[in-house]
């Protein structure tokens, strides 16, 4: 069963943290699906990934294109991603189920620590996933750098 990492965002914006995690995931040889709940959020992330550092092009695409299956990173609202991801990154509370997490090399749940609703949703996902046997790690950037604060 793959691990589920929870990232409690309190300092760096989602776009910065996501880029870092995607670069590390691609470096590990993984194909990634970034799953959101709304097209608007994925539009913002898509634009941010295109505007990254000049020397840091991050290959990615939006679901619904002719080349979805070939995308190393696919931004989608769907539960199934055409690029057959090794890793799924959840943003804006998109659900990752225990059976899905078990099939992945890694699942990541990024949530806004300044949004009480997002924090509550992450707590509920932690309980559901760990209750189903998933191994989970909770990461916080509260100190100014990422630190693992808890694991199941």
10 Å CB burial of residue 47 (0-12, 13-18, 19+) is exposed
**What domains appear along the chain, each with residue ranges and CATH number?**
3-151 (3.40.50.10110)
Encode pLDDT of 18-74 as tens digits: 999 999 999 999 999 999 999 999 999 999 998 766 666 789 999 999 999 999 999
Q: What is the pTM of this model?
A: 0.95
What pLDDT does residue 114 have? 96
Give me the mean pLDDT over the 113-142 stretch: 96
For residues 98 and 73, give the distance between their C-alpha atoms in angstroms, rounded to a whole number: 22
Burial (CB count within 10 angstroms: exposed 0-12, middle 13-18, buried 19+), residue 97: middle
| Lowest-pLDDT range of 44-58, 63-77, 88-102, 127-141 | 44-58
């Amino acid at each position: 069963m793959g691990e589920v990492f929870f990232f409690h965002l309190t300092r760096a914006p989602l776009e910065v943290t996501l880029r870092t995690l995607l670069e590390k995931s691609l470096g590990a040889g993984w194909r990634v699906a970034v799953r959101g709940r709304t097209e608007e959020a994925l539009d913002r992330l898509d634009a941010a990934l295109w505007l990254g550092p000049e020397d840091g092009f991050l290959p990615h695409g939006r679901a619904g294109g002719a080349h979805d299956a070939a995308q190393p990173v696919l931004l989608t609202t769907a539960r199934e991603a055409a690029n057959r991801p090794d890793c799924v990154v959840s943003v804006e509370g998109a659900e990752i189920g225990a059976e899905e997490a078990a099939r992945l090399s890694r699942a990541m749940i990024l949530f806004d620590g300044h949004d009480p609703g997002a924090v509550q949703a992450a707590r509920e996902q932690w309980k559901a996933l760990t209750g189903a046997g998933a191994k989970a790690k909770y990461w916080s950037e509260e100190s100014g750098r990422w630190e693992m604060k808890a694991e199941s």
